Amino acid sequence: MAIPHYRRIERRRTARVSLCMDLIVDGESEKNEKFEVKARVLSVSGHGGMMVLDVPLDPKQPLTLYNLNTVQKSACRVVSARTGRDGKHIVSFEFDTPEVNFWKMAFPAPGAKPVRRYGPHVGGPLPS
């Protein structure tokens, strides 16, 4: 995965934010069997996120997510799914209605540049 340069403009609708949180995921398998599993979110945005779970999922598959911190639920669908090195499934998802603010946080405006970070200041003028 490429590391974004500090001058790169974010092209997503909302920026991604690294966040580690547990969720409960409800859905139906290909065989129409209902499942309920725990998942861990790795990154989130105002319109969805990326999570790791043990169950294989297919693109466009509908899911219901339960946020254990806010006791809120939201419908979403799988955008992409792949298997990681450890055999777990890495799934990107998108909310059906992003206005819900499922993560209870504010995201940077679309097109905002990431904040440039500097190392410790050792003396002399501050970089501009």
User: In whole angstroms, what is the distance from residue 94 CA to residue 116 CA?
Assistant: 28
Give dist(CA 121, CA 84) in Å, integer. 39
Confidence of residue 128 (pLDDT cuts 50, 70, 90): low
For 98, the 3-state DSSP assignment is helix
Q: Model-level pTM greater than 0.85?
A: no
91-103 pLDDT, tens digit each? 999 999 867 788 8
Q: To the nearest 10°, the Cα dihedral for 18, 20, 24, 28? A: 50
Residue 126 has pLDDT above 80, yes or no: no
In whole angstroms, what is the distance from residue 53 CA to residue 86 CA? 11
For residue 125 the two structure tokens come to 């003028």
Chain centroid to Cα 90, Å, comes to: 11
Tell me the per-residue pLDDT of 47-76, one tens digit each, with 9 for 90 and over.
899 999 988 899 999 999 999 888 899 999
Ordered structural domains, the chain, with CATH = 17-100 (2.40.10.220)
Indicate the pLDDT class of residue 38, thresholds 50, 70 and 90: very high
Distance CA 19, CA 103 (A): 10
Q: Read off the tokens for 32.
A: 């129409």
Share in percent of the chain as helix, strand, coil (round to 5): 0, 45, 55
Please answer whether residues 28 and 34 qualify as being in contact, where contact means their C-beta atoms are separated by less than 8 angstroms. yes
